[in-house]
Structure 1
Amino acid sequence: MNFLGHRRVLVVTAVEPERQAVLRGLSGAGVAAESAVMVEAGGVGSAAAAAATARVLALGRFDAVLSAGIGGGIGVPIGGTTVATASIAADLGADSPDGFIGLDELGFGTATLATDPELVAAVTAAVPHVATGPVLTVSTVTGTLAGTRDLTARYPDAVAEAMEGFGVATAAAQAGVPFVELRTISNPVGPRDRDAWRIGDALEGLSEAFTCLAKLTP
């Protein structure tokens, strides 16, 4: 059985509720996850996500890797779905009196990893009303107006913020496996208002997205 045109796919979420949402979406379309897809809750943050992804990739053959979960939307409404054209480690760099200096500018490597164009095309074709653009990976979720202004000024094309994508992307890139990131939106990026978050709606959207993806299975 194939999934997204690949024999075997690894889906990495941060936490168990996201993993269960993905599994519900797959089972809702009649896909037995173990036959085509392995879904792993790798932990919160880029380091945990990278370590978990690398561990699983070392144990078996996979043809594609998806970082999946919920996140904050940048110009994308709550309940919306985003697919990354690149995963960017938005706060990997150095602070300075003149502002943030990114890893690329420092000359120590890159903080941007492009996603696989074929996977992006497949996901956007399968899931309705997807917003595409860079998805930012941060270690500290943005929660102030000043932080939001700084972030969006540096990354004006970004569509979402989360905490794991760049870590999953790094492990996939080092293993030579195609990668993409999918996020459903639980809250807008901006001043922190926990009461306005809609985590349940975002998890439901995650399930629906994977039901759509599963329907691509031959």
Structure 2
Amino acid sequence: MLKLRDLTLHYGHSQILNGISMEASLGEVTCVMGTNGVGKTSLIKAISGTHPRSGGDVILNGEPLGVLPAHRLAHKGVAYVPQGREIFPLLTVRENLETGFVCLPPDAHFIPDEVFDLFPVLKEMLNRRGGDLSGGQQQQLAIARALITKPRLLLLDEPTEGIQPNIISQIGEVIRHLRAQGKMAIVLVEQYFEFAYDLADRFVVLRRGEVLVAGQKNKLKKEDVLEGVSV
């Protein structure tokens, strides 16, 4: 579903990513890991179009892409759940979910029952404002909003950050369910090692904006992955 070749990214004159190449396949979870400041979020922003890459190729479902803005990529099936969630605090849960309709044809402007099967608490809180939800509930809302767009590529940036353990467990089950459906590729940026290791099919470990370790989980030693994410 996704191939990156020699992707680079700058903030002003500072180069953050240097020649990143990786793949993410349908029905798999690709975990991007590394210590703080190595470029994980920058990589997700480059893939999602929220920050333009400086160079390299992005190929989505076999189609080479130019440097497209986020809304164009969303229409092509890329859904992004950013670090910090970024839900609309003054909109209700229902209204937050309905923002995903912009990527869909008019006859698909409804909230699928599956969203509430995955996140039952959202059905109970449809008329509550997003800003009134707990951090864990907002994270569920952010993921659900992304799923409304029917993505082929789902980008998750630190979904466990600041979340209580029972919600972390639920998010893990949702990711497993989505992977098992085989309809999307999932790229997960995560600091919580055991959570990531349990879910991953493939790893990409970054250090100083470059790929340090990459490969299928079953072909990598756990200690090599852990060493790459340790300070």
Give the TM-score, by structure 1 length. 0.28
Give the TM-score, by structure 2 length. 0.27
Between structure 1 and structure 2, the one with the greater Rg is 2
